[in-house]
Every structure is written in C-alpha cells, then in structure tokens.
Structure 1
Amino acid sequence: MTIDAQDDPAPTRAQRRRERERAAARESILSAARELARSEGWETVTMRRLAERIDYSANFAYRYFTGRDDILLTLIRDGFTRLRDAMDTASRRPAAESAAATSDTDVPDVAAIRRAAHAYLDFALTEPDLYQLMYGLGGVRMPAADTWVEGQAVGDVLTGLLAAAGDRQPEQHVLQLWATAHGLVALLVVGRVDVDSAALHALLEEALTDCLTRALPAPASPRRSGRSAAEPTGKPTGKRQL
C-alpha cells in the first residue's frame, strides 16, 4: 500500500505573524546600519552600535544575523540587485522619458545602452553610502568573491545590450565603460573632482559616444556619422564584475 505524499500545510496565522515580525526586525537592523554609516561611516557599524541605535540588548541583532559581515553582505547584495534592476528598467524606458541621456538620432538599441549606463551613474550619485560599501570605497572592504554573482548580473545588463546592438566584443567594452563611470564616482568620493551631477553625466556621455563609435557597426554610431566603426581586434577579455 502506498501513501500519497501530502502537500506542505499552509502556514498558520501565528507562523505568518512570526515571519512578518522577523522581516521587520531584520529591516530595522539594516536600516540602523544604513543610518549609522550615513552619519558616521561604515567602519563604525558594529553589532554593539546597532543594538544601541535600535535600543535593544547587544544580542538582539544576533537573532537575525550571524554578525556584522552578514549585515554588510546583505546590504551589498541588495544594492547590486537594485542597481541591476535600475539599469534594466532604464534600458526599457521609452526614449521620450529619458531624452537627456539619448540622442534624437540614436537607434533604439543604442539609446537603451546610453540609458542603462546613465542609470548606473544615477544610482551611485543618489545612493553614495551604499555604492561606496558595494565597491569598497567607504573604509570597509568585503571579499568580492562573496558577491561576485550579484556584481556579474549588473555587468550582464550592459553586455546583453551591447551584443544586441551588434558589438562583437561586449565584455571588453563593458569593462571600459564601467572603468569610466566608476572612476568618475571614485574621484568624486575622494574629493579629487568638484563637479555637479550634470557635469559627471556629460563626461560619461562623451565616453559612451567614443566607445559606441568604435564598438558598434557604423549605422549605429550617429554622433560620429562621418567615421567608420573600427574593426574589432584581439579577443574578448575574461569575466568582469561590476
């Protein structure tokens, strides 16, 4: 005689309530970490300081996270997910909604690349504390290998857009564009440049135009219409993480 497998029972009301309470407690701890970092820097984020900030015992946070690194990794992974989603959403947005980041003569594929790249810079400028944590600019460094998959997913957004536009070496050009966008943010963070966000976007736009002119077939390079796109040389670089 066989016994049919029973479906897992639906969670009870008490279980759902405990799950909501757990989610709320975790979010309160993460929020406290973000606020503490914003006011005093990421190096000040410790389990003791977080407990003081949320007015609980020192052991409270350990019920929901294994330690400070677990909290920071959670924030970093969430940051990469939000960055990827922001770039993906921007790439799909109608050009009329983001005219500042595109040219009137851009074909759809090229316009999408521009919008995604500018969304990356927008994220870094609007979430500076989180961006610094994600890329080790805030005085605290987490192993890149621990969030490699999430970082790779950010780069994959641009890689896919470049490939769709006809780029035969998309990973190489993603690395080039990332170096430009990230370099601009890093210089701003350390106080080596004193420019506003519009100027940073203008610098990124120049780099985008130069890169796309070389990377894409000539018809897809409207801003340099008198110049043929360079033929790809060499082999694509290895995997990269944004």
Structure 2
Amino acid sequence: MSKPEASTPRERYRAQVREEIKKHAWEQIATAGASALSLNAIAKRIGMSGPALYRYFAGRDELITELIRDAYRSLADTFRARAEAGAGLDGLAHALRAWALDDPQRYFLVYGTPVPGYHAPEDTTRITSEIMAVLLDACAAEQPPAAPPSPLETHLAGHRDWAGQHPAPPSALRRALAFWTRLHGVLSLELAGHFTGMGFDPARLYTAEAEAVAGH
C-alpha cells in the first residue's frame, strides 16, 4: 500500500524532511540501538536545531512509532504481493527471510527486544493483523489430510483472539503459529550472529524448517 503523495510544496517539503529524519534514525539505531535514539543528535546531523526538528516529530516515541509502522507496513505489503502472485507457505517463508536479511535493524525493531518504556499504538496491531491474515489464508489453503485434532488444536479452537475474525480451522491456526515461531526463531538467531562458527549454512536450516511447516 503506497503512501498518499503530498499535494502542496509545503507538504512535499515536510514529507521530505520527515523521510530524512527517519533515514538518520535508522542509521543511529544500527549504531547504538533503538533505546539510544536521540532526536537532538539527529537534528545536529541534518543541520537543524532541536526545536525545529520537533516540528516534524513531537518526540522520540512518535519517531519510533513511525519507524515501526513503516517496518510492519513493508512486511505486510511484501506478503500481500507474494500471495497475489500465487505464493504459498514456501513462498511466504522465503519472502520473510529475504525481507529480514535486506534490513536486519528493521527486523529487530519489530521482532527483537522491545524498546524499554515504549508501547506501540493500536494501529500497528491492525497492520500485523494483515500480515497474519495472509499467512492464515495460505495455511487454510494448504490443509493436510483430515486427522484427529491435536491437544494444541483443541486449545486453539477456543483461544483464537490473535487470529481476529479469520475463519481458518484450528489445524490452520496451529500451522500458522508453527510457521511464525519456528521461522522467526531461526531468523533471530541467524541475524544476531549465533550461528557464526557452527559450520553450517543457516539458509539450509531455514529452508528445512520452512519445508517442515509446509508439510513437504
């Protein structure tokens, strides 16, 4: 989903400055982490006074919110595009890995350690629901042969708030959770460097986990 274009020169200039501020914020996060994000430091980098910068972002939390919103929106758009192109669980799995490797700091901002003292607004939850809806669609479309429900599936039948109003059956819910937890687990360890020196290719481990979840 593309962002609406600014309609006046003033709006276009404001949008340009906000994008520049976010660019420097990402650079600062890559160097020192999100918890050390400083609007005053960014202002100095772009030759702007602190008070002037606060005309574009009211504070650190608003800037972090914008970065988180952009990150989730990027993944939601990536998933939707792949699904519309016919990708199933395998395709979504590899889209997730490519998205994470393309910008590890973006990945860790939304799937790493929460920023101390920060609480994401509800509109970001709506975007994450879009991501999960695409995943649940894929899981429901690739259902394995019918089998007696597992204990987890029985539990999920009555505990499905995280799936919103999606009509996926409990077996698809279980598959979506397995996809999300197992693949994020491998990605988080890989991006944090925990596989360094272990002598195997993390891409092969990730592919094996993706295939296991997809039932191949």
Name the count of aligned residue pairs: 183
Are the counterparts in 1 of residues 195 and 202 from structure 2 also a CA contact under 8 Å?
no
Structure 1 residues 170 and 195, CA gap change in structure 2 (3 angstroms): farther
TM-score (norm 2): 0.74
1:33 is aligned, of 25, 48, 69, to: 25
Are the counterparts in 2 of residues 88 and 116 from structure 1 also a CA contact under 8 Å?
no
User: Does residue 91 of the first structure (1) align with residue 67 of the second (2)?
Assistant: no
Are the counterparts in 2 of residues 133 and 141 from structure 1 also a CA contact under 8 Å?
no
Q: Partner residue of 2:138? A: 161
Give, in whole Å, the separation in 1 of the partners of 2:78 and 2:71. Answer: 10
Offset of 1:140 from its aligned partner? 5.3
> Which residues of structure 1 form unaligned runs of 5+?
1-14, 94-107, 214-222, 224-242
Q: Partner residue of 2:10? A: 18
Are the counterparts in 2 of residues 92 and 112 from structure 1 also a CA contact under 8 Å?
no
Give, in whole Å, the separation in 2 of the partners of 1:166 and 1:153. Answer: 20
Offset of 1:206 from its aligned partner? 1.7
Give, in whole Å, the separation in 2 of the partners of 1:158 and 1:25. Answer: 35
User: Does residue 209 of the first structure (1) align with residue 211 of the second (2)?
Assistant: yes
Give, in whole Å, the separation in 1 of the partners of 2:10 and 2:93. Answer: 41
Q: Supply the RMSD in Å over aligned alpha carbons.
A: 2.5
Structure 1 residues 201 and 89, CA gap change in structure 2 (3 angstroms): farther
Offset of 1:139 from its aligned partner? 5.9
Offset of 1:43 from its aligned partner? 2.6
Q: Partner residue of 1:171? A: 173
String of CA shifts for 1:202-232, please: whole Å, max 9, x gaps.
222222322232xxxxxxxxx4xxxxxxxxx
Are the counterparts in 2 of residues 37 and 129 from structure 1 also a CA contact under 8 Å?
yes
Q: Partner residue of 2:152? A: none
Give, in whole Å, the separation in 1 of the partners of 2:136 and 2:197. Answer: 29
Give, in whole Å, the separation in 1 of the partners of 2:128 and 2:117. Answer: 15
Offset of 1:54 from its aligned partner? 1.1
Offset of 1:170 from its aligned partner? 1.9
String of CA shifts for 1:72-91, please: whole Å, max 9, x gaps.
11111111111111122233
Structure 1 residues 211 and 137, CA gap change in structure 2 (3 angstroms): same
Offset of 1:67 from its aligned partner? 0.6
User: Quick one: which amino acid aligns to residue 173 of structure 1?
Assistant: R
TM-score (norm 1): 0.67
Give, in whole Å, the separation in 1 of the partners of 2:74 and 2:53. Answer: 24
Are the counterparts in 2 of residues 137 and 186 from structure 1 also a CA contact under 8 Å?
no
Give secondary structure in 2 for the equivalent of 1:38.
helix
Q: Partner residue of 1:219? A: none
Aligned positions of 1:89-168 closer than 5 A: 89-93=81-85, 112-137=88-113, 142-143=118-119, 146=122, 147-166=124-143, 168=169
Give, in whole Å, the separation in 1 of the partners of 2:117 and 2:201. Answer: 29
Q: Partner residue of 1:186? A: 188
Are the counterparts in 2 of residues 90 and 119 from structure 1 also a CA contact under 8 Å?
yes
> Which residues of structure 2 form unaligned runs of 5+?
1-6, 145-168
2:201 is aligned, of 180, 199, 202, to: 199
Give, in whole Å, the separation in 2 of the partners of 1:29 and 1:140. Answer: 21
Offset of 1:136 from its aligned partner? 3.3
Give, in whole Å, the separation in 2 of the partners of 1:87 and 1:31. Answer: 23
Query: Which shows bigger deviation, 117-126 or 32-41?
Result: 32-41
Structure 1 residues 150 and 121, CA gap change in structure 2 (3 angstroms): same
Larger radius of gyration: 1
Offset of 1:145 from its aligned partner? 5.6
